[in-house]
């Protein structure tokens, strides 16, 4: 999978060099490229923003550098362009799975009060565009949102996570939260591992885990059960 990121803070994405994603990049499974939006400016101050037409607080990102940056990364394939935005559809495990089947995703990370609307309209004329929100809250820019989405998407690409079975039994796969996990020692600070997990009875263990999932989901996220 190829992933391009356009941002004014490329250094934020250095964190994607480590751990499983870093390994997937070195193995060539994920081809991730970070582009500095300021490299597409032509003035001495490398300006990327200006005051909004119609007035109002904050600054808006100018269209010219965005247009040039996107011209550079879109390519001839059929890329999906994701603009992280609190005004977008809410990201989910389902969307992560859907996007993990894409061959090329471009993340356009806006800052300030957003990107000039004409950039979104122009891009939608030549590529598939989605505005995607991390959740119902606001962060300072698209970078942190893109990073979370990239990690959620990339770990579903075959070969990124060593043991694919570990992707099956986790929160939000199957619509429930994950059951609690335990490892050695069997007693720690007087707290015992539930006896059923030491019983070797696989049917009883599966039943216990399913019950914990249902109980936890009912208590913490009843909205997830509402559709059942
Ligand atoms: N930019 C600012 N807030 C955001 C959010 N919640 N999701 C995606 N991008 C954002």
Q: Which residues line ligand 1 (CB under 6 A)?
A: 84-86, 133-135, 137-139, 141-142, 145
**DSSP 8-state code for residue 101:** T
pLDDT in tens, 112-152: 789 999 999 999 999 999 999 999 999 999 999 999 999 99
The side-by-side arrangement of strands in the sheet containing 31-36 is 31-36, 2-7, 104-108, 80-90, 128-133
Closest residue to atom 10 of ligand 1, CA basis? 85
Tokens of 150: 């990239």
Interior angle at CA 134, CA 131 and CA 137, nearest 5: 110
Distance CA 127, CA 195 (A): 55
Residues in the chain: 228
- pTM beyond 0.85, yes or no: yes
Provide mean pLDDT across the span 37-63.
97
Nearest to 186 by CA among 196, 198, 199: 198
**DSSP 8-state code for residue 115:** B
Please report which confidence band the pLDDT of residue 3 belongs to, taking 50, 70 and 90 as the band edges.
very high
pLDDT in tens, 56-113: 999 999 999 999 999 999 999 999 999 999 999 999 999 999 999 999 999 999 987 8
To test the pocket of ligand 1, the residue of 86, 120, 148 to mutate (highest count of ligand atoms within 8 Å of its CB) is 86
């Amino acid at each position: 999978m190829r992933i391009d990121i356009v941002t004014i803070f490329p250094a934020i994405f250095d964190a994607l060099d480590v751990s499983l994603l870093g390994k997937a990049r070195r193995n060539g499974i994920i081809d991730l490229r970070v582009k500095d939006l300021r490299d597409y400016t032509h003035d001495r101050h490398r300006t990327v923003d200006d005051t909004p037409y119609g007035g109002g607080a904050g600054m808006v990102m100018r269209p010219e550098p965005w247009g040039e940056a996107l011209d550079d990364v879109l390519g001839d394939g059929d890329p999906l362009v994701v603009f992280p935005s609190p005004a977008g559809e809410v990201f989910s495990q389902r969307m992560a799975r859907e996007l993990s089947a894409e061959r090329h995703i471009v993340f356009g990370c806006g800052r300030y009060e957003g990107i000039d609307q004409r950039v979104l309209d122009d891009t939608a004329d030549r590529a598939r565009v989605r505005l995607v929100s991390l959740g119902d809250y606001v962060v300072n820019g698209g970078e942190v949102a893109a990073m979370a989405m990239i990690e959620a998407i990339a770990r579903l690409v075959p070969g990124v996570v060593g043991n694919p079975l570990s992707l099956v039994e986790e929160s939000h796969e199957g619509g429930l939260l994950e059951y609690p996990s335990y490892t050695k020692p069997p007693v720690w600070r007087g707290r015992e591992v539930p006896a059923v997990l030491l019983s070797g009875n696989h049917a009883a263990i599966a039943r216990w885990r399913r019950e914990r999932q249902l109980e936890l989901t009912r208590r913490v996220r009843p909205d997830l059960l509402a559709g059942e």
